[in-house]
Amino acid sequence: MNKFLHLINYLKYFFFTLISNVSPNRNIKQFFSSFLKSFFSNIIYSYKNIFKPTNNIKYNFKSGSYWDGCLNHLNFVAKYFDENNIFKSLVLNLTVLNIRNKTTKINLENIFFSNQKLIKYSNIIFNNFEGLKIKNILQWYGSYVYSLSENVLDSELIDITKKSSVLEIGPGLGLTNLIYSDLNSNDIFYYDLLEMTLLQKRLEKKIKDSHKLNEINYFNNLVDLKEKLISKDYYIISMYAFSEFPMPLRKSFDDVIKNSKFSLFLSNENFENIKNETYFKGLAVRINKKIKVKIFDYPARLKFANKHKYFIIYD
């Protein structure tokens, strides 16, 4: 492809981001603030790759829901941002993880944050990517380490994590591969949107340059995922992503959850008029499993998560 066509494509995909809102807040001030931040960051962190995009995937403008707008931005980031700049994307900081913003509200005084594995994982990310803040990484990574510890799981479930493969539904940027690779040598399974998978694979490659990771299997198609899991012993973890799926997609996971050794879901109270506690309790009954409900008492949780809960579905 010649430079002119590369430029035309770049301007087209950049225009898609201009007409796509990424602010989850309906406040007009927040809307324009997000628009300006994404406008400038998308230019600053992409222009060097106008003529050398990281993939040749062609995509159309998506419209309708808030998440459709976000996908236009994620496609642009996956195509034109360098690995070090992916973390600077506004859409990812608003929707997936926030490990670059202000740290003034993060309290890491709890003894939990002296956990040596947590410190090790956080330092690997800090040393592999530029412009990150170690305090933010510790707070974000800590929520995963905490969720898979005796603070949340009993000894029997912890033992399963040491012997089984893991399926993470909506793994964000996939950085939890460090945690899972430390637990055992089994395959890791990620289910996510194609737009996120493109980013996850790039970050995996960069981490692999300095750290050994288990085999990671990426899926965007549920039929293919189910087929791959047939002969596997696995457990499921999903930090918010599953509880923000539309109901038809949630239902299509019933068999996957039923066949798991256990499933751990972290969820907010409601999503699009769905009361998540009612949903998860109904799911457990429907697939003939037990359920435990626990308050998300992670010591460094942010204020908005005070009422969030774990739903643990098991035999």
Q: What is the pLDDT of residues 59-103, one digit of tens each?
A: 999 988 888 889 999 999 999 999 989 988 989 888 876 665 555
User: Which two tokens mark 83?
Assistant: 């690995």
Instruction: Give start and end residues of each alpha helix (H) in 19-54.
Output: 28-44
The reported pLDDT for the residue numbered 310 is 98
Kindly tell me if the per-residue pLDDT of 12 is higher than 90: yes
Question: What is the distance between the alpha carbons of residues 147 and 200, in angstroms, rounded to a whole number?
Answer: 21
The reported pLDDT for the residue numbered 25 is 73
The reported pLDDT for the residue numbered 22 is 85
Kindly tell me if the per-residue pLDDT of 151 is higher than 60: yes
Output the CA–CA distances (angstroms, integers) from residue 263 to 155, 157, 207, 267, in the order listed.
Answer: 15, 10, 27, 13
Q: Which residue has the higher pLDDT, 216 or 84?
A: 216
pTM of the full structure? 0.92
Within a 13 Å sphere around the CA of 191, how many CA atoms are in the beta-carbon half? 23
pLDDT digits 0-9 by tens, 256-287: 999 999 999 999 888 878 899 999 999 999 99
Question: What is the distance between the alpha carbons of residues 237 and 13, in angstroms, rounded to a whole number?
Answer: 33
The domains of the chain are located at 3-95, 140-314
Choose the CATH number for 140-314 among 3.30.56.10, 3.30.930.10, 3.40.50.2300, 3.40.50.150: 3.40.50.150
Q: How does DSSP classify residue 303?
A: G
